[in-house]
Amino acid sequence: MTLDTVISGCVVYYLESSDGLDDQRLAIVKDCLRDLDDLMTELEADCQAYFSRLRQLGDMLLHVQSLP
């Protein structure tokens, strides 16, 4: 699976679930963000904006999940 598919799947799950993300999905999002961090320097300039926004989406998902 691709990083954008995995992160967007977790977003959909979060939006459809009254309980938010479970521990497994939180770990998956964190892994995806680490992978994105590793890839960003290797991406061509025209791809960086897309993956930067994808990373922001993952960050927002983790942040909203941590709110009380």
**From first to last of its 68 residues, what are the pLDDT tens digits of the chain?**
899 999 999 999 999 999 899 999 999 999 999 999 999 999 999 999 999 999 999 999 999 988 87
Torsion of CA 63, 46, 41, 53, to 10 degrees: 0
CA 38 to chain centre: 14
The model carries a pTM of 0.90
Tokens standing for residue 6: 């995995």
The DSSP H or E segment spanning 35 is helix 23-40
- Percent of the chain's residues with pLDDT above 70: 100
